[in-house]
């Protein structure tokens, strides 16, 4: 790989990568835009601890003063969390401009994957990925996360696809672009707060090593994209489908009424759903991210054993 003049890999992460030890990438839009302060900061630190407890080194990714940071200090996480919605949300198309201006930004799944791949990290844990929005036939609102999954070799562990999105269209889009959707110990596509969505995954795999085996095969034969690893929320934290569906309907209606579009649309919907459902959804959100961090660490460990 050619040296990237904008990449700053934290010494601990760099040492792990050099020694071929497992590393898990983590995103920062979930910190700045996905949860309220101070829960966002506490959760981000807990997620890092969970990755460590399961044998991998965490690398939380963001852009800080124009640098692509792979691995943040607790102070940097605090800044992103405190900044909240004032922090710029950076997807692939925004990266060059934020870097050139020396600004700070929170990275989405798309830009986190991209920066992880630049650093040589293959496994990434988050809460939910972006997708095809409801009404996309009119709005054309399709997350850049999906096209990143089509071209960047990182496995993204998530709790499925939040039903603010059109799950059926998201699956069709992923299929078109050659992105596999794996279910961890399930045939059902989870929908973030719920363990089932009514849709199926493409492949059920029951162990971290089986997932690592698919990753190894995909990349060893030169296929370029990533994969979605969907991990259902633990039963004890799953939410009643009706509660979530009602909140999502209300949030979608408000978004339409206010003409919310473009990059504002996902953060608006996420914030409104969490405000409408209150503390319950926050607790669920935190638990599913921790659950994904554990699985991602297990996959990273298994993958490194295979490629070592
Ligand atoms: N979905 C969630 N929680 C999130 C996001 C999506 O359930 O925090 C964030 C992720 O950072 C994701 C981004 O990459 O929103 C997608 O935004 P957009 O739809 O504008 O691409
Ligand atoms: Mn969008």
d(CA 220, ligand 2 centre) in Å: 32
Q: Whose CA is nearest to atom 20 of ligand 1?
A: 263
Helices (H) and strands (E) in the chain, counts: 13, 11
Residue 295 within any structural domain of the chain: yes
CA distance 230 to 159: 5
Q: Whose CA is nearest to atom 10 of ligand 1?
A: 108
Residue 227 within any structural domain of the chain: yes
The pLDDT value given to residue 2:
55
Q: What is the DSSP letter of 34?
A: T
- pLDDT digit of tens for each residue in the chain (308 aa)? 557 999 999 999 999 999 999 999 999 999 999 999 999 999 999 999 999 999 999 999 999 999 999 999 999 999 999 999 999 999 999 999 999 999 999 999 999 999 999 999 999 999 999 999 999 999 999 999 999 999 999 999 999 999 999 999 999 999 999 999 999 999 999 999 999 999 999 999 999 999 999 999 999 999 999 999 999 999 999 999 999 999 999 999 999 999 999 999 999 999 999 999 987 899 999 999 999 999 999 999 999 999 98
Please count the other Cβ atoms lying within 10 Å of the Cβ belonging to residue 48: 21
Q: Among all residues, which ones are annotated catalytic?
A: 27, 162
Please give the structure tokens belonging to residue 219. Answer: 């990349």
Residue 163 within any structural domain of the chain: yes
Residue 70 within any structural domain of the chain: yes
Question: Are 82 and 37 a contacting pair, CB within 8 Å?
Answer: yes
d(CA 236, ligand 1 centre) in Å: 24
CA distance 203 to 182: 5
The pLDDT value given to residue 188:
98
Ligand nearest to the CA of 162: 1
Rg, the chain, Cα only: 18
Residues lying with their CB under 5 A of ligand 2, a single-atom ion: 141
Q: 96: exposed, middle or buried (C-beta count within 10 Å: 0-12, 13-18, 19+)?
A: exposed
Model confidence, pTM: 0.98
d(CA 13, ligand 2 centre) in Å: 31
Count: domains in the chain:
1
Residue 1 within any structural domain of the chain: no
Residue 2 within any structural domain of the chain: no
Q: Can you list the pairs that 13-16 forms with residues at least 24 positions away whose Cβ atoms lie under 8 Å?
A: 13/57, 13/59, 13/70, 13/71, 13/119, 16/57
Query: For a pocket test of ligand 1, which of 26, 30, 161 has the largest count of ligand atoms closer than 8 A to its C-beta?
Result: 30
Residue 299 within any structural domain of the chain: yes
d(CA 265, ligand 2 centre) in Å: 6
Coil, strand or helix at 180: coil
Strand partners, 188: 200
CA distance 113 to 201: 21
Domain that holds residue 190: 7-307
Residue 280 within any structural domain of the chain: yes
Report the CATH number that the domain containing residue 80 is assigned in CATH: 3.40.1790.10
């Amino acid at each position: 790989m050619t040296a990237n003049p904008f990449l700053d890999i934290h010494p601990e992460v760099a040492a792990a990568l050099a020694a071929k030890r497992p590393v898990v990438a983590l995103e920062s839009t979930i910190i700045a835009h996905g949860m309220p302060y101070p829960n966002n900061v506490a959760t981000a630190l807990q997620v890092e601890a969970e990755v460590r407890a399961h044998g991998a080194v965490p690398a939380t990714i963001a852009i800080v003063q124009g640098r692509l940071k792979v691995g943040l200090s607790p102070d940097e996480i605090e800044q992103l969390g405190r900044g909240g919605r004032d922090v710029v949300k950076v997807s692939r198309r925004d990266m060059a401009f934020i870097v050139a201006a020396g600004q700070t930004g929170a990275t989405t799944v798309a830009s986190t994957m991209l920066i992880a791949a630049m650093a040589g990290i293959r496994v990434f844990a988050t809460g939910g990925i972006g997708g095809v929005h409801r009404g996309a036939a009119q709005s054309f609102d399709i997350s850049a996360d999906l096209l990143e999954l089509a071209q960047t070799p990182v496995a993204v562990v998530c709790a499925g696809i939040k039903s603010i999105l059109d799950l059926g269209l998201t699956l069709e889009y992923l299929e078109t672009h050659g992105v596999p959707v794996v279910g961890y110990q399930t045939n059902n596509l989870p929908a973030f707060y719920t363990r089932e969505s009514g849709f199926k995954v493409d492949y059920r795999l029951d162990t971290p090593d089986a997932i690592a085996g698919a990753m190894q095969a995909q990349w060893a034969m030169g296929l370029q994209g990533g994969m979605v690893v969907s991990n259902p929320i633990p039963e004890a934290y799953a939410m009643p489908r009706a509660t979530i569906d009602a909140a999502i309907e209300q949030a979608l209606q408000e978004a339409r009424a206010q003409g919310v579009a473009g990059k504002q649309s996902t953060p608006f919907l996420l914030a409104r759903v969490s405000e409408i459902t209150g503390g319950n959804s926050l607790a669920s959100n935190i638990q599913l991210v921790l659950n994904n961090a554990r699985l991602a660490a297990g996959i990273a460990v298994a993958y490194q054993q295979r490629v070592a």
